Structure 1
Amino acid sequence: MNREEMKSQVRRYYNIWREMLVSYEEWAKEYGISYNCLLVLYSLWEDRENCTQKEICRQWVLPKQTVNTILKDLQKKGMIDFKVMEKDHRNKSIHLTKEGEGLTEEIIPALQELEASVMEELGEVRSSSLIENTALFAEYFRKGKEKRK
C-alpha cells in the first residue's frame, strides 16, 4: 500500500470513528442528555462506590470544566450527591441518588445490552480483532508521536 492509500485508509477510519460518536450522541439525545453527560452517567453506573470527577475525566479524556458543569447540573436536578472520601478528605466521591439511579437505569443497561449484541453479531473473532487492532493503532500512534520528540 502506498502513502496515499494509507492516508485514505486513515480518513476512512476517522469517518467510521465519527459515525460511532454520532450514534452515541443520538442515543444520548433520545434520553434528553448530551453525549458527555452519557459518558459521565456511564462512569457513575459502572463505579457506584468510588467514582470521582478526576476518574471520570481520566476515563473519558474530558476536560475537568466539562465534567464539573455536567456534575453541577446533575446535582441541581437531584440526580447525584457528593460525599467526602474517607481515605482522602480532599476528594469527593459521586453517588447517584434514587432519582439518578432511575434515570441511569433507563439509559445505561439498555446501551450496554446494545453494545453486547453488536459484539455478539460481530462474533468472537471480529470483536477480538476490532479490539486488538484498535489497541495496536493507539499503541503505534503513541510510539510514532514519541519518536517525533
Structure 2
Amino acid sequence: MGKTSIFSPEQQAGNLSSKVVAALERLSATFRVLLWNEAKQHGLSPIQVQLLIFLLYYPEEKRTVTHLAHYFNMTKATISDAVKSLESKQLLTRKITEGDSRSHSLHLTKEGKAMARKVERFAIPMLDVVSQLPEDKQATLLENLLQLIYQLNQADVITPQTMCQNCRFYSQKNGGHYCNLVKSPLKAGDLRVDCPEFQFPPAEELE
C-alpha cells in the first residue's frame, strides 16, 4: 500500500480497501460507545458487561478465566481482575471443578443474571439498523464479515473464533459452503459466528 494512509480522507478517496477499513473502524467506534454508555449507567466496565452477557448464555465448560481470555483476546490477568470486581458486586460466584480444586467455573448470581439481561440491550440500536437491510444483503454482509474474521485468525491478529470457517466440519463444495456434520450445503445466511457444535480441526490438519 506504500505511503497510503488508511485514515487520511484525501488518500482514502482513491483507495477502496482503505475506505472499507475506515468504515469498519467507525462501526467499531459506535459499538464501543454503545457498550461504554451502558456500562457507565450500571457502574461497570465494558469488559465486565461483556463477561456478564457471556456467562448468561454459554455452557459451564466455557465459563472459565482461561476460555474467557481466549474468547475476548485478553490476558488472563485482565479477565481475573474483571471477575474479582464482579464478585465484589455479588454478580457472580466461583464453583470449584469436580476433581480439580485448582480449576473453577464462573456462575452468575440471581442479581448477575438480572444485570446481564439489562446490559445486553446496548446492541439493540445496531440490531435495529441491520434488520432494516434486505435479508439477502444481510446474508452477504455476514459472509463477508466472517471471511474477514477468518483471515485475521489466519494472520494471528486475533485468536481463532468458533465459527464455521474454522470448524473441522466445514468445507467448500461446488463453490459454496458445506457442513459435514449435518451433511448439508449452507447458504450465506446459515453461517454461524459461534456454533455450539464447533470443533477445531485435528492438529495435523493445521500444520
Is the shorter-chain TM-score for this pair beyond 0.5, marking a shared fold? yes
Of Structure 1 and Structure 2, which has the larger fraction of its residues in helix? 1
> Which residue among 30, 34, 50 is the counterpart of 1:23?
34
Relative to structure 1, the CA distance from residue 141 to residue 77 in structure 2 (aligned partners, 3 Å threshold; closer, same or farther) is closer
RMSD: 2.9
Higher relative CO (Cα under 8 Å, sequence separation at least 6) belongs to 1
Q: Would you say how many aligned residue pairs link Structure 1 and Structure 2? A: 144
1:97 corresponding residue in structure 2: 109
TM-score by length of 1: 0.77
Rg (Cα) greater in structure: 2
The code of the aligned residue for 2:52 comes to L
Distance 2:125 2:30 in 1: 16
CA distance in 1, matches of 2:156, 2:69: 22
Show structure 2 runs of 5+ residues with no match: 1-12, 158-207
Alpha-carbon distance change, 27 to 140 in structure 1, aligned in 2, over 3 angstroms: same
Residues 85 and 119 of structure 1, relative CA distance in 2, 3 Å threshold: farther
Tell me which protein shows more strand as a share of its residues: 2
> What is the TM-score when the length of structure 2 is the normalising length?
0.58
Partner of 2:135: 124
**Distance verdict in 2 for CA 1:6–1:66, change over 3 Å:** same
Match of 1:85 among 89, 92, 97: 97
CA shift for structure 1 position 71 = 0.7
DSSP 3-state at the match of 1:122: coil
Residue number in structure 2 paired with 1:65: 77
Q: Which runs of 5 or more residues in structure 1 are unaligned?
A: none
Identical counterparts, % of pairs? 22
Q: Which moved more, 1:72-81 or 1:125-134?
A: 125-134
Letter in 2 for 1:32: G
